[in-house]
Amino acid sequence: MTAGARRAWPLAVVGVAALIAALATAAVMALLGVSVSCLGGTAGAVASGPRSGVREDSVGGIPAARLHIYEAAGTRFDISWPFLASIGVQECGTDGHCGLASSGCAGVMEIAYVRGSACSPDPSAATLWERFGVDADGNGKSIFDPADAIFTAARIFEDDLGAPPAGGSYRGYYQAACGYYGACADASADYADEVMARAVSFGFGREGKVARHVHEAARGSEGPSCGGSSVLSGGASGSAIVRVARSQLGVSENPIGSNCTRYGPCEEWCALFVAWAWQRGGIRMAGGTSPFAYSGSFYGWVKEHGGRVLPPGATPSPGDAVLYGWGPTASEHVGIVESVLGGEITTIDGNFDDRVARVGPFPPALAVADGEPAPIYAYAEPPALGGQGGGS
């Protein structure tokens, strides 16, 4: 983005198709919320709340559904979510659904979209949307989908504009805002100053106070233990796993905020909970729960021990692990399938707002809309009954 190539023009929606797309997006995204318990992210990217992990009271007039998206995008790309939210308000208001502007920028984050336009003057060069566009919710990539636009902007800040990681310096984010606008200011806006002042009011620099970080680290068993884990022998079944999981509904960290539970070491514990329930449901897994502290570990473990990995469009079975994210190396969260009925699933998740909670029922393709942090990328089916590998 170059100086003079942005916001010198009023935001104007061009064409009936763009308007229809924006209105359709508004209807869908009004439902969207993202849980940020047990995410793979970085400090300052997550908020706590009564259900989905985000405070239900509005921040700066931004509805909770939109806040969910900013926070999830910040977590995914390690960018300060108050900064992202401030950019979004600067570009399109607190809950806008901006279409295509006369400048050639589009979407709620006003991303360069049209080649040869003021926003992207070189007709032979790929636009920022073409280079960095993200399908955030698994429904196909669209700049008119607020989730896709916000995730794309976060990726631009990380990959193209050199924004610091979440929790980084004011000066670093100020310069990133200058880069996003094409200049720090012009005759119509003191852009970077306005963005940063608003970001501070949203919690920039105090993210830990606004939102307690619950990063799920991909690490092993180091750390103090808050509870033991034994492995039961005997026949395993999906129904046994579900019974174990149901017996834990409502169990929370003790004390809240400590990540200490009965399921393993004092660390982010959605995956520890799944391993604990599988083991007590009869699945033999060597080493207790600690080796399975990262949600993506289930993807490889079931393949190596006689289980199956099912694609996100498959029909899972009760007791399967449901994996959220963008693949086993970019895994965000894991839960247990409790039931499958009428094309919808219900799950039981550990570390969902610091406790074991039931989520759903929801159509698997709309997991994010029911509070999960990312799309489903796979199901992990435990090894065949009675012959599990990986025994201790």
> Are 52 and 183 found together in one domain?
yes
Sign of CA dihedral 72, 78, 79, 82: positive
> Are 255 and 166 found together in one domain?
no
* Structural domain containing residue 268: 238-381
Contact assessment for residue 362 and residue 369, using Cβ atoms and an 8 Å cutoff: yes
> Are 153 and 189 found together in one domain?
yes
In a domain, 223, yes or no: no
In a domain, 98, yes or no: yes
Q: Which residues of the chain have pLDDT under 70?
A: 1-58, 207-236, 384-392
pLDDT at 356: 93
pLDDT at 218: 27
> Are 206 and 253 found together in one domain?
no
**Could you tell me how far CA 166 lies from the centroid of its own chain?**
15
pLDDT at 293: 87
Looking at the 3D structure of the chain, how many domains does it have? 2
> Are 114 and 258 found together in one domain?
no
Q: Burial level of 67, CB count in 10 A (0-12/13-18/19+)? A: buried
Can you tell me the distance from the alpha carbon of 148 to that of 235, in angstroms, rounded to the nearest whole number? Answer: 44
> Are 271 and 182 found together in one domain?
no
Q: Domain boundary residue among 165, 193, 210?
A: 210
pLDDT at 62: 87
Can you tell me the distance from the alpha carbon of 108 to that of 211, in angstroms, rounded to the nearest whole number? Answer: 23
In a domain, 357, yes or no: yes
> Are 198 and 263 found together in one domain?
no
> Are 205 and 106 found together in one domain?
yes
Helices 238-246/270-280 angle, 10° precision: 120
> Are 206 and 89 found together in one domain?
yes
Q: Which residues contact 382 (CB under 8 A, 6 or more apart)?
A: 236, 238, 241, 278, 283, 302, 307, 319, 320, 321, 388
pLDDT at 4: 36
Q: pTM above 0.85?
A: no
In a domain, 217, yes or no: no
In a domain, 228, yes or no: no
HEC letters along the chain: CCCCCCCCCCCCCCCHHHHHHHHHHHHHHCCCCECCCCCCCCCCCCCCCCCCCCCCCCECCECHHHHHHHHHHHHHHCCCHHHHHHHHHHHHCCCCCCCECCCCEECCCCEECCCCCCCCCCCCCCCHHHHHCCCCCCCCCCCCCHHHHHHHHHHHHHHCCCCCCCCCCHHHHHHHHHHHHCCCCCCCCCHHHHHHHHHHHHCCCCHHHHCCCCCCCCCCCCCCECCCCCCCCCCCCHHHHHHHHHCCCCCECCCCCCCCECCEECCCCHHHHHHHHHHHCCCCCCCCCHHHCCCCHHHHHHHHCCCEEECCCCCCCCCCEEEEECCCCCEEEEEEEEEEECCEEEEEEEEECCEEEEEEEECHHHCHHHECCCCEEEEEECCCCCCCCCCC
In a domain, 35, yes or no: yes
pLDDT at 34: 33
pLDDT at 208: 55
> Are 172 and 81 found together in one domain?
yes
In a domain, 226, yes or no: no
> Are 176 and 77 found together in one domain?
yes
In a domain, 231, yes or no: no
pLDDT at 48: 29
Q: List pLDDT tens digits, range 150-162.
A: 999 999 999 999 9
- Nearest-Å Rg of the Cα atoms of the chain is 22
> Are 33 and 114 found together in one domain?
yes
Q: Domain boundary residue among 169, 194, 210?
A: 210
**Residue 387 CB neighbours (<10 A):** 10
